[in-house]
Amino acid sequence: MGMSLKGKIVFITGASAGIGAATALAFAAERARLLLAARRVTKLGEVASLAMESGAAGVHSIQLDVRHRHAVQSAIDELPEEWAQIDVLVNNAGLSRGLEKLYTGKVEDWEEMIDTNVKGLLYVTRAVVPGMVVRGRGHVINLGSTAGEMTYPNGAVYCASKAAAHAINDGLREDLLGTPVRVTSINPGMVETDFSLVRFHGDSTRAAKVYQGLTPLTPEDVADAIVWAASRPAHVNIARVTMTTVHQANSLLFHRE
Ligand code: 8X3
C-alpha cells in the first residue's frame, strides 16, 4: 500500500492529450486535486470534465505554453491561494518534430523541441520547486524517454532533448538532497499517442506505420507508473523507471509481427 494521493495538488503540463491527459485521469481516480496546463483550452476543458467524472477532488485549468518563460512564472505566481501549494509536478509537456538526418534537419523543428522539452521543463521546474522546498514537501516527475538513454538514427535532436531531461532530472535530485522533495524520471519507449502525428507534422499514414505490427504502450500504462512513483512512502525516491512494450528492447530494437 502506498501513500494516499487524496486531496494532493498535482500540476500536469501538456495535460490536454496523450500521456498528460491519461495522467490527469489516473490522479483523478486517486481523488487528487488537479492543476491542468496546456496550450489547447478546448481539449483541456474536455480532460477537466472527464477528470471530475473520474473522481478528482477539484480541477483548475490554465492555458499555458511552457516555452514562454514569463507566462510560466506568472501562471505559478498568480495561482489562486487554494491551488498554490503544489504537491506533485508532472513535467509532461513535450514533443518530437521530424525524423531526419541531423545534417539536413529543419532548424525550426530543433528549436521547437529544445524550447519545449528542455527550456520549458526548466522554466516550469524553476517556477514550482522553490515553493516545494519552502513547504518541505513535493515531488517532481519528469517525462524522459528511452530516446534519452540511447540515440537512434534521424532522431539526434529529439534524443538530445531527452538526454538533457535526464541530466536535469538527476541534477535536480542532487540539488534537492537534504530536502524531502523527490525527483523521478519516467522513461517510456514507444507509446501510442499523437506523438508520431506531431513528429510527422500531421502525416497520419506515416504516423500509423510507426505502430504497425506491434503492441505499443498506452498512455494509461505510463500514467500508472507515474501514479505509482507518486504514491510511494514519503522516504522512497524512485529515480527512474524505464518502460517499453514487450515488442521493444531499446531505442533501436523492435519486434514486429
Ligand atoms: C518516445 C520514444 O523511441 O518513440 O519518447 O522516440 S521514441
Which atom of ligand 1 is the closest one to the Cα of 148? 5
Which atom of ligand 1 is the closest one to the Cα of 152? 3
CB 36 within 8 A of CB 15: yes
Residues of the domain holding 64: 9-243
Residue 177 grid coordinates: 538532497
Residue 256 within any structural domain of the chain: no
CB atoms within 10 A of CB 86: 24
What is the number of alpha carbons within 13 Å of residue 71 lying toward its C-beta?
A: 11
CB 33 within 8 A of CB 9: yes
Find the 74 Cα to ligand 1 centroid distance in Å: 31
The structural domain count of the chain equals 1
Residue 238 within any structural domain of the chain: yes
CB 56 within 8 A of CB 33: yes
Find the 57 Cα to ligand 1 centroid distance in Å: 33
Which run of H or of E encompasses 122?
helix 121-135
Which atom of ligand 1 is the closest one to the Cα of 159? 6
Residue 89 within any structural domain of the chain: yes
Residue 254 within any structural domain of the chain: no
Q: How far apart are CA 243 and CA 257, in angstroms?
A: 20
Q: Which of 150, 158, 129, 131 is nearest to 141 (CA)?
A: 129
Q: Which residue has the cell 501514479?
A: 227
The confidence score (pLDDT) of residue 244 equals 98
Rounded to two decimals, what is the model's pTM? 0.97
Q: What is the pLDDT of residues 166-200, one digit of tens each?
A: 999 999 999 999 999 999 999 999 999 999 999 99
The SS3 of residue 95 is coil
Q: Is 158 a catalytic residue?
A: yes
Q: Of 103, 123, 152, 158, which is the active-site residue?
A: 158
Residue 191 grid coordinates: 507509446
Q: How far apart are CA 99 and CA 105, in angstroms?
A: 8
Query: Which residue's CA is minimally distant from atom 4 of ligand 1?
Result: 190
Residue 126 within any structural domain of the chain: yes
Domain containing residue 162: CATH number: 3.40.50.720
The confidence score (pLDDT) of residue 1 equals 60
Q: Which of 92, 96, 150 to mutate to test the pocket of ligand 1 (most atoms within 8 A of CB)?
A: 96
Residues of the chain with pLDDT under 50: none
Q: Which residue has the cell 506515416?
A: 206
Q: Which of 42, 19, 43, 49 is nearest to 34 (CA)?
A: 49
The confidence score (pLDDT) of residue 2 equals 84
Order of strands, edge to edge, in the sheet holding 58-63? 58-63, 33-38, 9-13, 88-91, 139-143, 182-188, 240-243
Identify any residues that bridge with 34 across adjacent strands, giving them in sequence order. Answer: 10, 59
Residue 249 within any structural domain of the chain: no
Residue 66 within any structural domain of the chain: yes
H helix count then E strand count, the chain: 9, 7
| Site residues for ligand 1, CB cut-off 6 Å | 145-147, 189-190, 251
Residue 77 within any structural domain of the chain: yes
